[in-house]
């Protein structure tokens, strides 16, 4: 039995999206603003919830570890102009603003320099610029290590060896 008998040809598959090469059975609505809005809303909600859980977990661990100094950081100590928590929150806020703004400018600049108008074009342009990662099936070298020392020993011994298999020359 050949592979052609097992899988249907593109001509035999019903075209939901009126594109001959499209094998999906779900109608694509890529231009729908509702889908984009809900996608952004979902990712924003997941990011926000993750940040709140991470920050809350960290504060709870610090409070449990040393409650006396934690309380001094919240209330403040005589002779200081600002409590430690308010100073840390202000620094965290400004750091977040700088990080998000900087990364957004970098990503927007790369997007504009690529000349792409949508994510599909950007993916294709970056795929043509960046080197391809070849898949070696099966891998030609070790993939399992006992620990970091085993991995570093393997790298140091294998560095510079001939990979062609002609080590007898």
pLDDT at 47 over 60: yes
pLDDT at 25 over 60: no
Q: What is the pLDDT of residue 43?
A: 92
Q: pLDDT (tens digit, 9 = 90+) per residue, 64-118?
A: 888 777 777 666 666 666 666 777 888 888 999 999 999 999 999 998 998 888 8
Q: In which band, very low, low, confident or very high, does the pLDDT at 1 lie, cut at 50, 70 and 90? A: very low
Q: What is the pLDDT of residue 70?
A: 74
Q: What is the pLDDT of residue 50?
A: 94
- Mean of the per-residue pLDDT values for the chain? 76
Token pair recorded at residue 51: 């940040």
Largest pairwise CA distance in the chain: 86
- Taking a C-beta distance cutoff of 8 angstroms, is the pair 10, 23 a contact? yes
Query: What is the three-state SS of 106-145?
Result: HHHHHHHHHCCCCHHHHHHHHHHHCCCCCCCCCCCCCCCC
Which of 97, 93, 96, 72 is CA-nearest to residue 82?
72
Token pair recorded at residue 138: 């099966």
Q: What is the pLDDT of residue 169?
A: 44
- Out of 22-36, 102-116, 153-167, give the one with best mean pLDDT: 102-116
């Amino acid at each position: 039995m050949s592979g052609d008998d097992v899988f249907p040809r593109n001509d035999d598959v019903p075209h939901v999206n009126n594109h001959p090469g499209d094998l999906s059975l779900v109608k694509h609505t890529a231009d729908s603003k509702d889908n984009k809005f809900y996608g952004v809303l979902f990712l924003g909600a997941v990011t926000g919830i993750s940040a709140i859980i991470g920050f809350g977990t960290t504060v709870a661990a610090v409070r449990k570890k040393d409650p006396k100094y934690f309380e001094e950081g919240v209330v403040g100590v005589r002779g200081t102009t600002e409590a430690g928590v308010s100073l840390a929150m202000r620094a965290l806020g400004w750091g977040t603003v700088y990080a998000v703004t900087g990364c957004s400018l970098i990503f927007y600049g790369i997007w504009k320099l690529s000349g792409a108008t949508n994510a599909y074009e950007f993916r294709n342009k970056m795929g043509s610029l960046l080197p391809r990662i070849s898949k070696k099936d099966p891998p030609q070298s070790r993939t399992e290590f006992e620990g970091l020392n085993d991995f570093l020993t393997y790298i140091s011994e294998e560095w510079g060896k001939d990979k062609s298999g002609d080590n007898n020359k």
